[in-house]
Amino acid sequence: MKSTIILAVAIAATSVATEKKVKVDESKITWTGHKVTGQHEGTIKLQSGTLKFDDKNQLSGGTFTMDMSTLTVTDLEGDMKGKLEGHLKSEDFFGTDKHSKSTLVITKVDGSEGKYKVTGDLTIKGITHPITFNMNIYEDTAKADLKIDRTKYDIKYGSASFFDGLKDKAIYDEFDLNVSLKF
């Protein structure tokens, strides 16, 4: 009986998952929004994040919070930059006064050796939908490129899917998030 207890404790001790805190100041999230006549780019700051690894050091989960009030435009300057940032933070887009945080909670991970297919619950403007994307991890860096359909999160402004006659003023429904996490 005593040896069974010792064996059970030894197995439990070796199968402990590891949670690694993301270094938010060294991590970067960039966004790109596309429209008929071009695109705009910018950044969003990560507020917090953790990556979970199993006992074999394979990705098994994670949780992230983005501070949407930090959304910036990097491809414009002056008044145009300020106007676009204000519009993106308004209710037409992300409504950051009411919804200052967006989150991603990893719910499933497939893959190994640094190459993963990740599924998670993405919440924007208080609306949650599943999303699947690839994540690559090398040493202390995780990288992922996500395509997000903004209309699923009640961001319909300028969408040809919802409004007729927009022509060259249409904004595409999908936007890109490029994420580089240091941990």
Q: If the chain, 183 residues long, is cut into consecutive pieces of 10 residues, what is the mean pLDDT of each piece? A: 47 71 98 97 98 97 98 98 98 98 98 97 98 97 98 97 92 98 97
pLDDT value for 72: 98
Say which DSSP state 75 is in. S
Please give the helix or strand (H or E) that residue 84 lies within, else none. helix 78-89
pLDDT value for 57: 95
Cα–Cα distance measured from residue 31 to residue 84, given in angstroms and rounded to the nearest whole number: 14
61 Cβ neighbours under 8 A, 6+ residues apart: 51, 52, 106, 107, 109
pLDDT value for 10: 45
Cα–Cα distance measured from residue 167 to residue 26, given in angstroms and rounded to the nearest whole number: 40
pLDDT value for 2: 53
Helix, strand, coil % in the chain, rounded to nearest 5: 15, 55, 30
Say which DSSP state 169 is in. G
Sign of CA dihedral 105, 110, 116, 117: negative
pLDDT value for 17: 87
Strands 115-124 and 101-112: antiparallel
Sorted by where each starts, the structural domains of the chain and their CATH numbers stand as 17-182 (2.40.128.110)
